[in-house]
Amino acid sequence: MRAYERLLKYVRVYTTSDPNSGTHPSAEREFDLARILVEDMKAIGIEDAFVDEHCYVYGTIPATPGCESKPALGLIAHMDTAPDASGENVNPILHENYDGRDVTLPATGMVMKVSTFPFLKELKGETLITTDGTTLLGADDKAGVSEILTAAETLMAEGRPHGKICIAFTPDEEIGEGAFLFDIPGFGADFAYTVDGGDVGGIEYENFNAASATVTVHGFSVHPGSAKDAMINASNVAMEFHQALPVMARPETTEGRQGFYHLCQMYGDVTEAKLGYILRDHDAGKLQFKKDNLLHIACYLNGKYGEGTVEVEIKDSYRNMIEKIKPHFHLVENARKAIEKAGLTPKEVPVRGGTDGAVLSWKGLPCPNLGTGGFNFHGVCECTTVERMDKATEVLLNIIEIYAH
């Protein structure tokens, strides 16, 4: 079975994670795909495949004779899809021999324009897979899941030599919790790759340091007709807080290694208002500055409106994996070789985001990220191609071969 055939099956399973549940997994529906994957793993010969109580799927392929002393290599992808767009009732559409022009998504009439997405021209002649326009596709990261299982099936069916291969599929990556309950000792790998990147040929080993912040503003409400010198409007103070942050440090005004403050949520009334931020920077010192800046603004506003008016709660999310990858840089070097062997040029860019691999690297499992062949994640314009998924599978097989020698 080719990777795209698995993808077409898996994207139809509703696995959107829920950032507000507070449970692990965040949504019981994630078990639906987990159980299917266990069945599929056992069907191709991964006999010890299982899903644990927190919806983590694990399985191993024992080393072939003569390769028992080779490093145990892990391959990891996530099952959930982002809550940014609907992941329910996904209807994938295949566009064979795609002509490289604008694509109309049939259910909504939305047009994926080449002028907006210039990479589409590079996909000419390939079999493009899109949504029908009503949902995201779920290639992030069911393409990675599909490519790992296709590589595993090929490996065993063809009897290729290999060291121990450890496979895991995680829940809740899209809400930043995919690696929280990952069983690294039980997984059994010496090091691993997440297969959760963009275009095939990508190698990612430098990501944002990340934190989130919740700003709560407590106001004081009186009748607006007699409010002079008495009312403290929480919504106005919240806007004042946000306006104190630099305009040129927002997602829409930054690129490359530039960090940002991103206002994700804002709601309130006179009595109480809340702002939800995510903070990102590749430089840990600059992220700390951003966290300190939020506290300084709160301190200023509390001095202006009264102590306790503004409260800031900051939580660290994940850190830049590069510090943990550098001592194991063979992971990057061998990925480069594997990509070149597949006839591609490696692409190495800093990730303006994070992966399970960032958290796992800091927990002791060095774990750079590989491209899946997907584009436009987290929205209705998400897409991939059959051929790029085949290439991503080939890259995985090449990596396994390199570590077997």
Q: What is the pLDDT of residues 207-225, one digit of tens each?
A: 999 999 999 999 999 999 9
Return the residue matching tokens 């009264």: 306
Q: pLDDT digit string (tens) for 319-340?
A: 899 999 999 999 999 999 999 9
Q: Is 18 a catalytic residue?
A: no
- Nearest-angstrom CA–CA distance, 268 and 234: 7
- Nearest-angstrom CA–CA distance, 286 and 284: 5
Catalytic residue among 80, 141, 174, 199: 80
Between CA 154 and CA 161, with CA 159 as vertex, the angle to 5 degrees is 105
| Extents of the domains making up the chain | 3-207+320-403, 210-318
- Nearest-angstrom CA–CA distance, 348 and 316: 26
Which sign, positive or negative, has the C-alpha torsion 157, 160, 166, 172?
negative
In the predicted model, residues of the chain with pLDDT beneath 50 are none
Side-chain half-sphere exposure of 317, counting CA atoms within 13 A: 25
The pLDDT of residue 326 is 95
The pLDDT of residue 307 is 96
Count the neighbouring beta carbons within 10 Å of the beta carbon of residue 256: 8
The pLDDT of residue 249 is 97
* CATH, domain range 210-318: 3.30.70.360
The pLDDT of residue 338 is 98
The pLDDT of residue 352 is 87
43: three-class secondary structure by DSSP:
helix
The pLDDT of residue 191 is 96
The secondary structure of 119-184 as a DSSP string is: GGGGGTTS-EEE--SSS---HHHHHHHHHHHHHHHHHHHTT-----EEEEEES-GGGT-TTTT--H
- Nearest-angstrom CA–CA distance, 355 and 34: 19
Q: Residue 287 in contact with residue 314, Cβ under 8 Å? A: no
The architecture CATH gives domain 3-207+320-403: 3-Layer(aba) Sandwich (3.40)
The pLDDT of residue 317 is 83
Q: Is 80 a catalytic residue?
A: yes
The pLDDT of residue 349 is 85
Catalytic residue among 126, 147, 173, 199: 173
